[in-house]
Amino acid sequence: LHGAYDPDNIFAKILRGEIPSVKVWEDDQVLAFMDVFPQSEGHVLIIPKQSQARTLLEIEPDVLSRLTAALQRTAKAVEKALKPDGISVMQFNGEAGGQTVFHLHFHIIPRWADRPMKG
Ligand code: 5GP
C-alpha cells in the first residue's frame, strides 16, 4: 500500500503511448483497454489518465466518480457485445492485496457459467 508512484509503471507507459494497447473507450480522464493476459474473453482494465494514484486509497474522489461511471458504461458494453452470464469487477491494492501494476485500475471480467476463470 505504501510507496511512491513509479512514472515508469506499465500503465503509465501505455498512457504515454510507449507500450501499445487495445483501447476500448476513453475520454479526457479515463482509459479502458484490453488486458493483455485476459482471465476470460473480454477482460478489460479501467484506469485514470492523469492521477498518479497507486491504489484506491489515494485516488481523488472526483476522479473515482469518473472511473466508476466508466466502469458501469464499459460493463454494459461488454454485456451487450459478449452476452456473458456474469461480470466480475475486481480491484487490488498493494502487493499483499494481489496488485502487480501500481497504477490504480479496475478489472472487468466477463464470466460464463460453463467456463472457469483462467489462472
Ligand atoms: P493487478 O494484479 O495489478 O490488479 O493486475 C494487473 C493487470 O495488468 C493484469 O491482469 C495483467 O494481465 C495486466 N497487464 C500487465 N502488463 C500488461 C500490459 O503490458 N498490457 C496490458 N494491456 N495489460 C497488462
Report the C-alpha gap between 86 and 46 in whole angstroms: 18
> pTM for this structure?
0.96
3-state secondary structure 54-104: CCCCCCCHHHHHHHHHHHHHHHHHHHHHHCCCEEEEECCCCHHHCCCCCCC
CB of 90 closer than 6 angstroms to any ligand 1 atom: no
Share of the chain above pLDDT 70, in %: 98
Q: How far is the CA of 26 from the centre of ligand 1 (A)?
A: 18
Atom of ligand 1 nearest to the CA of 91: 4
**Residue nearest to ligand 1 atom 4, measured at CA:** 99
Q: Which three three-digit cell numbers place residue 78?
A: 461488454
Domains of the chain listed by start with CATH number: 10-111 (3.30.428.10)
40-75 residue pLDDT tens: 999 999 999 999 999 999 999 999 999 999 999 999
Question: ipTM for the complex?
Answer: 0.98
Atom of ligand 1 nearest to the CA of 101: 3
Q: Can 105 be counted among the known catalytic residues?
A: yes
